[in-house]
Structure 1
């Protein structure tokens, strides 16, 4: 029997972002590593690898919460009971014909899934909002020279956090499609607006279909000090 782990709050079946992706399902939950019980994986009907068993409670709880959300999203999508395993690079293994993404941060996890006919790829990322001091230390690593030049200093922490998150979502979207790794300097955020919409541009060639100069839309929302971003293609 698949039951909710003790470390997880009740699942939320919702769409917190500005614009729904047709056919996509998103499920989230809060979780608390301090409440991780010895039988939580067994209770949830989710296997854990040997390396995961050796991990700290935080890593085990966030993995468990993410997989619980992913299974619930797939059940909502088409009724299947499936828990994504992990590739060697730790990315989720989705069923054939399904695109999906899992994210987790401080006490919160989410998963989004859609069938192949509705989209080609999905990337979901959650981050805690950076304060200006930390954003200042990280900006040079995350932002391109052009992004730094456009940077609005009055929203410094938000802009750096959003740029980081959107690029993470872009990677999660395109890596499964291209099998090519790319980094912060290989994409730029062209613009974003207070209504939660954003636009990015690739700065490198990943495949014949995903080449330098291609522009891609994204979206995001902010709640309780956390930022959630999504890219769908």
Structure 2
């Protein structure tokens, strides 16, 4: 039927990040798992797999909202009606010639897509801003020693949340290209600024092109307590 699920608010076709990515389309929507209806998958025309049927309402609503955003972004990009499936590695399956990324957090989901001729890879990640107390506890799991030394003690919550999010976005952007998993210790955020710009560096060899020392640009925005980051290749 391809109608909006009951759990999803109207879609937003916008670009909340500070720097446009030529050729990329971003669609987002708020969602509420408490409003999930039994026929929402059918209403949206999205397959409900057996594992999704067994999952809690929060997971079902997240999946639905993310896929609805992805379909709308693809429709705007080139007019195709396509819902990304899920690969064995849990990554979305995009059409040939398309790269994209889906993210969802507390009551909000988004997807970004582009033609492969415009972007090699896209990584989008949304996180709730950590409190300074929780960020202090998690810092050593997420930040390298160099990142810890550079951290401003007055911005612990923001720095740890942003570092986590940018590294997630980096993974989402590069994994479909290199097909090799890497972790928080394999990249570092060299710098970031309040205007939403960031720079990252790989600390491991993933391929001949994506090697130790390779630097990439990232960007982010903060809306209330929600942080959104993007790495585009």
TM-score interval, normalised by the smaller of the two chains: over 0.9
Partner-residue secondary structure (3-state), 1:112: strand
The CA RMSD over aligned residues, in Å, is 0.4
In the alignment, the residues of structure 1 paired with residue 217 and residue 8 of structure 2 have an alpha-carbon distance, to the nearest angstrom, of 32
**Gaps in structure 1 of 5+ consecutive residues:** none
The answer to whether the aligner puts 1:29 opposite 2:29 as a matched pair is yes
Structure 1, residues 156-201: CA drift from partner, whole Å, max 9, x if none? 1000000000000000000000000000000000000000000000
Tell me which residue corresponds to 2:171.
171
Partner-residue secondary structure (3-state), 2:4: coil
- How far apart are 1:90 and its partner, in Å? 1.1
In the alignment, the residues of structure 2 paired with residue 157 and residue 109 of structure 1 have an alpha-carbon distance, to the nearest angstrom, of 22
**TM-score, length basis structure 2:** 1.00
The answer to whether the aligner puts 1:144 opposite 2:144 as a matched pair is yes
Tell me which residue corresponds to 1:100.
100
Tell me which residue corresponds to 1:58.
58
Poorly superposed stretches of 4+, deviation over 2 Å:
none
In the alignment, the residues of structure 2 paired with residue 47 and residue 20 of structure 1 have an alpha-carbon distance, to the nearest angstrom, of 32
- How far apart are 1:87 and its partner, in Å? 0.4
The answer to whether the aligner puts 1:14 opposite 2:14 as a matched pair is yes
- How far apart are 1:147 and its partner, in Å? 0.2
In the alignment, the residues of structure 2 paired with residue 90 and residue 38 of structure 1 have an alpha-carbon distance, to the nearest angstrom, of 24
In the alignment, the residues of structure 1 paired with residue 28 and residue 123 of structure 2 have an alpha-carbon distance, to the nearest angstrom, of 15
In the alignment, the residues of structure 1 paired with residue 19 and residue 34 of structure 2 have an alpha-carbon distance, to the nearest angstrom, of 34
Aligned residues: 233
- How far apart are 1:89 and its partner, in Å? 1.6
Q: Describe how 1:175-214 pairs up with structure 2 within 5 A.
A: 175-214=175-214
**TM-score, length basis structure 1:** 1.00
- How far apart are 1:7 and its partner, in Å? 0.1
In the alignment, the residues of structure 2 paired with residue 178 and residue 64 of structure 1 have an alpha-carbon distance, to the nearest angstrom, of 28
The answer to whether the aligner puts 1:38 opposite 2:33 as a matched pair is no
Partner-residue secondary structure (3-state), 1:113: strand
